[in-house]
Amino acid sequence: MRIIMYYSNSDLRLKEQPLPKIGKDELLLRVESSGICGSDVMQWYRLNRVPLVLGHEISASVVEKGSEVRGFSLGDRVVAAHHVPCNNCYYCKNGYHTVCDTLRKTNFDPGGFSEYVRLPGVNVRNGTFILPDEVSFDDATFVEPLACVLRAHKVAGIKSRQTILVIGSGIAGLLHIHLAKINSAGCVFATDLSNWRLAKAKELGADFVINASDYAPDALCQVNHGRLADVVILCTGNPSAISQAFDSVDRAGTIIFFAPTDKDKIIPFSVNKLFWRHERKLVSSYAGSPQDHIDALDLIKQGKLNLDKMITHRLPLKDTGLGFELVSQAKESVKIIIKPQE
């Protein structure tokens, strides 16, 4: 089968390797669509493990199943999570599935930028879902990133009619904006360095957009009855963006760290200015639980999200390198979907 082997963001090679052999509790999936995630282009996070096959936002067809697999049939259209929890440990039993040790160790074999993947038994049991007829393969690539966004909103306790500032309007930021408006946010502000992406943010529900280079908290106050944001969602790890978040969150407000910084980056802040007497909260969110994936799939099935406005490119497997280039440039692209069978 054909795969894309990753060496760096500018070095992705089309190669051949044998079809994976499955065990008795595993599935072999034919990958139909595979989205490029912003985390796929975090080169510093990958370089000590290359070469490897990336890709985790997949939808697929079942082409082979082990003798002990129940609930799936050959030909089923499915969406699968690459990281899945055990559901039995201390963290899972207390609702913290996304910090489970099993979740940190699980993955596809070899990865979603390939024609086929072997799905380990724990992924089959805890993270594979049959696609409703209403959900296309391309739309299903949004299940995993939307699950991550849903979890972040839950962790932050976002409520209706709150003022939300989304810093960074790439695919993650746009999903946060879109979900916030679907859930009746009071007012949603969006920033980005790209005016093209800001236009997308406006198209997907942002009430106000402003270029990050021109942004100041006063601009938010001017249209928000003199108040700062109840919730600030950081979809970039840029230090200047983090400083903007610190200056933009209202008393009793919450900052969600949804994106990492560069490796080993330290962000200083004033405890007194940020916290003392203000009761602000800093929270982080990583990945999504099985229930978050189910909820995301249900939202997509209901047609509540305008996913077509986010898909900007569909590329054959051989052009995955071009897809990585477009995502890395962060210009006129949002959701890029690789079609491994083309």
Q: Are residues 94 and 134 in the same domain?
A: yes
For residue 106, give its domain range. Answer: 2-142+310-339
**Does 11 map to a domain?**
yes
**Does 303 map to a domain?**
no
**Does 293 map to a domain?**
no
Task: Estimate to the nearest angstrom the gap between the alpha carbon of 287 and the chain centroid.
Answer: 7
Which pTM was predicted?
0.96
Q: 284, 299, 331 — which closes off a domain? A: 284
Per-residue pLDDT 10s for the chain (342 aa) are 999 999 999 999 999 999 999 999 999 999 999 999 999 999 999 999 999 999 999 999 999 999 999 999 999 999 999 999 999 999 999 999 999 999 999 999 999 999 999 999 999 999 999 999 999 999 999 999 999 999 999 999 999 999 999 999 999 999 999 999 999 889 999 999 999 999 999 999 999 999 999 999 999 999 999 999 999 999 999 999 999 999 999 999 999 999 999 999 999 999 999 999 999 999 999 999 999 999 999 999 999 899 999 999 999 999 999 999 999 998 899 999 999 999
**Does 295 map to a domain?**
no
Residue 226 CB neighbour total at 10 angstroms:
8
**Does 296 map to a domain?**
no
**Does 81 map to a domain?**
yes
Q: 246, 267, 284 — which closes off a domain? A: 284
Handedness of CA 294, 339, 41, 179 (dihedral sign): negative
**Does 331 map to a domain?**
yes
Question: What is the CATH number for 269?
Answer: 3.40.50.720
Task: Estimate to the nearest angstrom the gap between the alpha carbon of 155 and the chain centroid.
Answer: 15
Q: Are residues 272 and 317 in the same domain?
A: no
Number of structural domains in the chain: 2
**Does 289 map to a domain?**
no
Spatial distance between the Cα atoms of 65 and 124, rounded to a whole number of angstroms: 10
